[in-house]
């Protein structure tokens, strides 16, 4: 080994920081997700998957369909927090697919809201 090899700084770290283009931090959250297309001119497709990561501007999730970039979707994500420690919540977001690859889709969030989850009634709760 030459002395130059040992003293050269690592260049990979700098290039990683430069190539990062996301505006928002992504959080590795795995939650159940349901989605449906919002295009009015075509048949509505619906499916289920799991989130892989979430930010304030987007969500990466697994999907049953391989939808084209630009497709408008509504996703409903079971949220880990509860309202008043009693009521389960869903994060409902609408946006467009920005990329898809190997059973995964990325959605750019354009609009979102939290909704309360409806409870299913069992024989004991009647």
Residue 42 reports pLDDT greater than 60: yes
Residue 33 within any structural domain of the chain: yes
Residue 17 within any structural domain of the chain: no
Band of residue 28 on the pLDDT scale cut at 50, 70, 90:
very high
Residue 31 within any structural domain of the chain: yes
Residue 115 reports pLDDT greater than 90: yes
Q: How many domains does the chain have?
A: 1
DSSP 38: -
pLDDT in the model for residue 18: 42
Domain that holds residue 58: 23-120
CATH of the domain at 113: 2.40.10.220
Band of residue 37 on the pLDDT scale cut at 50, 70, 90:
very high
pLDDT in tens, 81-108: 888 888 999 999 999 999 999 899 999 9
Can you say how many angstroms the Cα of residue 113 is from the centroid of all Cα atoms in its chain? 14
Residue 71 within any structural domain of the chain: yes
Residue 33, judged by CB atoms within 10 A of its CB (0-12, 13-18, 19+), counts as: buried
For the whole prediction, is pTM greater than 0.75? Answer: no
Residue 114 within any structural domain of the chain: yes
């Amino acid at each position: 080994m030459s002395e130059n090899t040992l003293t050269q700084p690592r260049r990979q770290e700098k290039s990683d920081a430069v190539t990062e283009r996301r505006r928002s931090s992504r959080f590795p959250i795995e939650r159940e997700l349901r989605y449906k297309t919002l295009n009015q001119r075509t048949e509505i497709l619906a499916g289920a998957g799991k989130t892989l990561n979430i930010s304030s501007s987007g969500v990466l999730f697994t999907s049953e369909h391989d939808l084209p970039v630009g497709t408008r979707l509504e996703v409903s994500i079971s949220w880990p927090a509860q309202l008043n420690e009693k009521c389960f919540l869903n994060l409902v977001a609408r946006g467009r697919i920005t990329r898809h690859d190997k059973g995964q889709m990325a959605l750019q969030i354009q609009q979102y809201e939290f909704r309360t989850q409806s409870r299913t009634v069992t024989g004991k709760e009647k």
